[in-house]
Amino acid sequence: MKVDDLTEILKIEKPSIEIKNNEKEIFKLIPKLELCKGFNQNNEWHPYDVYEHTLHVVDNVENDEILRMSALFHDLGKPETYTEDALGIGHFYGHWKVPKEIFLKYAYKEKMDIKKRNTISKLIYFHDKNFGVLDDNSIDEMVFLFTKKELELLYKLKKADLLAQNKKYHFLLEEYEKQERVYKLIYEREEMNGR
């Protein structure tokens, strides 16, 4: 399988079906994805193993190549960063750093377009960031790092990620409305700069 084949799979209405039908070839293309299959998260937030969770996120985002690719890679760092606390509850501290590096190696190898590569790597890295608790300095950093379009994509990825978790935590979708401060600042900056 080539990267173009994977891209075509990601364009279909429900990619998870074809990803499962082509697992062996996709695992050769992205070996770290295979480590996610059957990897129990041991955490009430996560009713699925890492692989099934990933497939749900891929299906939950709209049909956009950048979003779907970001969804496919976003949690590939979980097996590598897994720890358990004294109660046996699983945690993945810093898990967003590892998939960014995995994706960048993949993107360089496949000679992915620089703009696309940069956007996807940002979405992967920030997918777990809670904007609702950012201080002013952190908000300024986000305003500097993201375009308005990229932030829209990030919110869509974050929403799809939450919807692929335990339903009892879906109330947190309301928090995204409170996080629009960053979006408004970015919008204002882009309007001022004529972007």
Topology of the domain covering 3-193: Hypothetical protein af1432 (1.10.3210)
DSSP state string for 145-195:
H--HHHHHHHHHHHHHHHHTS-GGGGGGHHHHHHTHHHHHHHHHHHHHHT-
Residue 84's beta-bridge partner residues? 90
Q: Where are the domains of the chain?
A: 3-193
pLDDT tens figures, 23-73 = 999 999 999 999 999 989 888 888 999 999 999 999 999 999 999 999 999
Residue 171's beta-bridge partner residues? none
Return per-residue pLDDT of the chain as tens, 195 residues: 788 899 999 999 999 999 999 999 999 999 999 999 998 988 888 899 999 999 999 999 999 999 999 999 999 999 998 889 999 988 888 888 999 999 999 999 999 999 999 999 999 999 887 776 777 777 777 778 888 889 889 989 999 999 998 888 888 777 766 666 666 776 676 677 765
Cα 64 → chain centroid: 13
Q: What is the pLDDT of residue 139?
A: 73
